[in-house]
Amino acid sequence: MAIEKATVFVIRKVDFKDSDYVVTLFGRESGKFAGIAKGARKLESKFGGVFDLLNLVEVVFYKGSGLEFISEAKLIENWEGIRGSGEAIDAGLRCARIVNKLLEEGQREMKAYDLLKDTLLSLDESQLRPKVVELAFYLKFFRYLGYQPQLRKCSRCGSSVDDENSVCFSPEAGGLVCPDCSSKKEFQLSAGLRKVLVRLSGTPQIEVKRLKVTENQLHDGFSLLDRFGQFHFGQELITRTGSSSESI
């Protein structure tokens, strides 16, 4: 029976039987997998609080009955800065939740792992503006899965769009739609929000919190990506924060 070791994030945890946890873990090399930690809920457990959500841990495991059997676990990082802020911990948990929802068992996404790590590093370094970091996470995560919203040109004809004017946005088309290609069923995307989304997508994750983003733009950005994600993944992924207006 092969014994393996991996550095992983804890992205889901559920109680199992009387004293165990079933944990979903996500590693750069190992990908996403589930394992059972026997006795982890006991007060005297050797695991202690290692399997708190978002923790970065090193685990030793081998194949069990349908699940990996975790024999050892060592805490690497528990993000104390994040845990001191309700908004920061909520943002981190939502990012981990969407990783769990969209990745299949055994799926490896190294860029997504690095993105989640940089997101938690950023939130841990400073708890200011966690929603900006979270919004940028969704944009980049969708891109790594092959579903990047087209924000620079028309998704239907490929023509460039005017940077200073509002344009239409269609989740079905995959992004911007120019006036000539519009079916009048799309919704409006303001020039200001489009510029913000482009900057968030292109800026290293550890630096995005320095960008200027208004509360209205944040609200509308989450709403746009919620609609985009629901269309392409067939499920609600992003908690709606409300929109400041009918136009986005």
Residue 2 pLDDT: 86
Residue with tokens 């990908």: 31
In the numeric block, which tokens belong to residue 170? 């269609």
What is the mean pLDDT of the segment spanning 24-49?
Answer: 96
What is the mean pLDDT of the segment spanning 132-137?
Answer: 98
What's the mean pLDDT when you consider all of the chain?
A: 93
Residue with tokens 């040109």: 153
Cβ-proximal residues to 54 (8 Å cutoff; 6+ apart), any chain: 9, 10, 11, 78, 79, 82, 89, 92, 93, 96, 120
What is the CB-side half-sphere exposure of residue 199 using CA atoms within 13 A?
A: 17
4-79: what fold? Answer: OB fold (Dihydrolipoamide Acetyltransferase, E2P) (2.40.50)
Residue 247 pLDDT: 37
Query: Hey, what amino acid is at 248?
Result: I
* DSSP codes joined into one string, 172-213: TTTEEE-GGG--S-SEEE-HHHHHHHHHHHHS-GGGGGGS--
Q: What pLDDT band is residue 1 in, cutting at 50, 70 and 90? A: low
Query: Hey, what amino acid is at 146?
Result: G
Residue 244 pLDDT: 37
Cα 236-89-33 angle, rounded to 5 deg? 60
Residue 240 clears pLDDT 90, i.e. is over it: no
CA-based nearest residue to 158, from 174, 134, 136: 174
Residue 162 clears pLDDT 90, i.e. is over it: no
Q: Where are the domains of the chain?
A: 4-79, 150-248
Q: What pLDDT band is residue 164 in, cutting at 50, 70 and 90? A: confident
Query: Hey, what amino acid is at 172?
Result: E
Residue 248 pLDDT: 39
The reported pTM is 0.93
Q: Worst-scoring range by mean pLDDT, 61-75, 119-133, 135-149? A: 61-75
Q: Worst-scoring range by mean pLDDT, 59-68, 140-149, 164-173? A: 59-68
Q: What pLDDT band is residue 246 in, cutting at 50, 70 and 90? A: very low
Order across the sheet with 187-189: list the strands.
175-177, 167-170, 187-189
Residue 245 clears pLDDT 50, i.e. is over it: no
pLDDT tens digits for 200-235?
A: 999 999 999 999 999 999 999 999 999 999 999 999
Residue 17 clears pLDDT 50, i.e. is over it: yes
CA-based nearest residue to 232, from 140, 121, 102, 104: 102
**220 vs 164, residue with greater confidence:** 220
In the numeric block, which tokens belong to residue 158? 């490929």
Q: What pLDDT band is residue 165 in, cutting at 50, 70 and 90? A: confident
